[in-house]
Each structure stands twice: as structure tokens, then as C-alpha cells.
Amino acid sequence: MRIILFGPPGAGKGTQARLLEEREGYTQISTGDIIRSAMKNETPVGKEAKAYVEKGELVPDSVVRKLAEGAIADEGYDDFVLDGYPRTTQQAEWLTEFGAAHDAPIDVVISLEVPDDVIVDRLSKRRVHTKTGDTYHLEHNPPPDDVDPAHIIQRDDDKPATVRNRLAVYREETAPLEAYYEARGTLVTVDGVGGIEDIYDRITAALEAA
């Protein structure tokens, strides 16, 4: 199955995509993770992306498109969960064309619905492991005791000023994609508030029904 996990920054896309990878064998394709790794390794893409990511802006469509399509091709065009792609109408249209060209259309778009106050709480208390990329939340999903605290950091773009911009960008550029996928008949909305396991159960139920 080809799945998109859709929703605002902090909705829980990465958390749920990882669970689907671990438990159901899907491959998580996170353009955010790919971009952060490129920035860390100072590749040409990483150098180009840096200024955008730091300001909470979107990286140009043409750059992200190559990353996403490359990752989908590497996975053999199936059994993946896109996490954080597409984020603009242009990206969505390209993805539809790409799917048609490879006989690999998106089967279902799961939209995680989370109100703004919950998002701000989740992003301000999100912490990540510098080596594994594992994501934690200071209260709801704290790092286990055997994890070295020296490796647990806050993402620079999770600081309040950048978060405000990311949410504005989401509303302006990304939120309209819900209507795009609704019109294509692939959108399923899932309540994203609740425990991580409860939301996982809602998502797997939605995937079974799709």
C-alpha cells in the first residue's frame, strides 16, 4: 500500500510512520529526515536547504521532489508511508503524475487532525536523538533511562519563533492539500488527539477500511 501521513508540524506523523515501519513493514519516507541528514553531511542539497529550514520556510519544490521521488523509486514504488511530503499543491500534482507514470498511485491519505494548542505543546516539548533520529516528548513519550541525555536535543526549528512561522506556512501552503485529496477520494481524517497507541489503532483501522 502507498500511504501519505498528512497533518501540521507536530501532528505525530513521524511517530506514527515509525510505528507503521516497525510493526507493519512499511518504509517511512520522511523528507524532513532526508533534508536534516543532507544538512548534517553538508551535501549540496543540505547547503541549499539550510537557510529555508532554519527560518521555518519550505525548501523549494524542485529540490524536495527529487528527494521524495528518489526515495520512492528506491523502495520499489510500494509499501511506503510518506511523512511530510507533499506539502504544496505543486508537490502533490507532481506526485500524482509520478504515481501515474509508474503505475503506483497513492492509495490513501491519512490526515491527522490536531488543534493548534496541542501542536504548540507537542513541538515545544519535542526532543530528538542526535544519532538515531528517535523522537520523544518530555511528558508524553520521554526518553528511556538507558538513553544518554547528552544525545537528546531540541531541534532548532522547534523553538517558538520558528514554530509560529512553520504553522503559518502550513496553513497557507499545505492545508489546501486536504481538499486536493478529498476531491480525489483518497482522504481519510483521523483524530490525532489521544495516546500514541490509540492513534496508531485508529490509523491501522483506517488503513484496513481503505
Among 3, 72, 81, 199, interactor with ligand ADP by CB under 6 A? 199
Contact 20, 30 (CB under 8 A): no
Selected from 4, 15, 181, 187, the binder of ligand ADP by CB under 6 A is: 15
* Residue 171 near residue 148, CB atoms below 8 Å: no
List the one residue from 20, 137, 167, 177 that touches ligand ADP (CB under 6 A): 137
Residue type, 182: E
* Residue 72 within binding range of ligand ADP, rule CB under 6 A: no
The phi and psi torsions of 175 (rounded to 5 degrees) equal -55, -35
User: Is residue 14 near ligand ADP by the rule CB under 6 A?
Assistant: yes
**The binder of ligand ADP chosen from 3, 4, 6, 9 (CB under 6 A):** 9
Q: Which residues face 152 on adjacent strands?
A: 129
Report the run of H or E that residue 92 belongs to, with start and end. helix 89-101
Q: Does 136 contact ligand ADP by CB under 6 A? A: yes
Q: E strands of the chain, at which residues?
A: 2-6, 27-30, 80-83, 108-113, 126-129, 135-137, 152-153, 187-191
Q: Which of 1, 37, 52, 152 binds ligand ADP (CB under 6 A)?
A: 52
Cell matching residue 135? 523522537
> What would the grid cell of residue 206 be?
483506517
Binding mask 18-37 for ligand ADP (x = CB under 6 A): -------------xx--x--
Residue carrying C-alpha cell 506539502: 87
Q: Is 64 in the site for ligand ADP (CB under 6 A)?
A: yes
155 assigned to active site: yes
Q: Cell numbers at residue 106, please?
A: 497513492
In the complex, least distance from residue 88 CB atom to ligand ADP, rounded to whole angstroms: 7
The residues annotated with a catalytic role in the active site are 13, 87, 126, 155, 166
Residues of the shown chain interacting with ligand ADP in the complex, contacts defined by CB under 6 A:
7, 9-15, 31-32, 35, 52-53, 56-59, 64, 84-87, 91, 122, 125-126, 135-137, 140-141, 157, 166, 194-196, 199
